[in-house]
Amino acid sequence: MDTLAILKRGPVMPVMVIQSVDEALQVTRALLAGGINTFEITLRTPAALDGVRELVNAFPDALIGVGTIRDAGQLDAALKAGARFAVSPGLPAALLPALAANRVPFLPGVATPTEAMNAFDAGFHALKLFPAEAVGGIPLLKSLHSPLPDIVFCPTGGIHAANAAAYLALPNVACVGGSWLAPADLVKAQDWRAITALAAAASVPSGQAQSS
């Protein structure tokens, strides 16, 4: 499965910062119940890689990816943990040889037209716009569509329930990423039903969201 196919699995990819393996299992189970099936687990906590291993084993039909990949060592650790794809806030040159060697589906982050063009020339046609709202958001994506019509984006950073549909309506957006589906307060309260409800509200098929 290539990167674009992964992005098209659903309109929203939750960006998850997990504090424990049990938390990762509970949150993922709640999101799956709401129709989410693609997940980015960020390498921002000591529990991240252990969480990925457990999620891959517990939910074999889910697409578990690892985010915040910054170097070849992190990429290798993510793949050994069972990650199906990788996400980065950028595209550092030092990562390119490792990506070529592993041929893993990879979503690199860009913030400018030049970065998008460089990533495209490096072989990446599906990109993460990050941090989306801070660098121009919807107006930027609209402006990029005409000169770069063969690039598709997953905007992440500042995306939430109130603006996700507007992003998804853009022709060059395959899905959006965000953390609003599993907010820290609901996770702390272990309110898994509320998280499932948020996931269900977000799990509108991409075509339906774009036609609304």
Q: Which residues are catalytic?
A: 40, 128
Nearest to 164 by CA among 143, 148, 180: 180
Nearest to 3 by CA among 91, 115, 74, 111: 91
Cα(171)–Cα(176) distance, integer angstroms: 13
3-class secondary structure, 64: strand
Other C-beta atoms closer than 10 Å to the C-beta of 148 total 18
Asked if residue 156 lies in contact with residue 128, where contact means CB atoms within 8 angstroms, the answer is yes
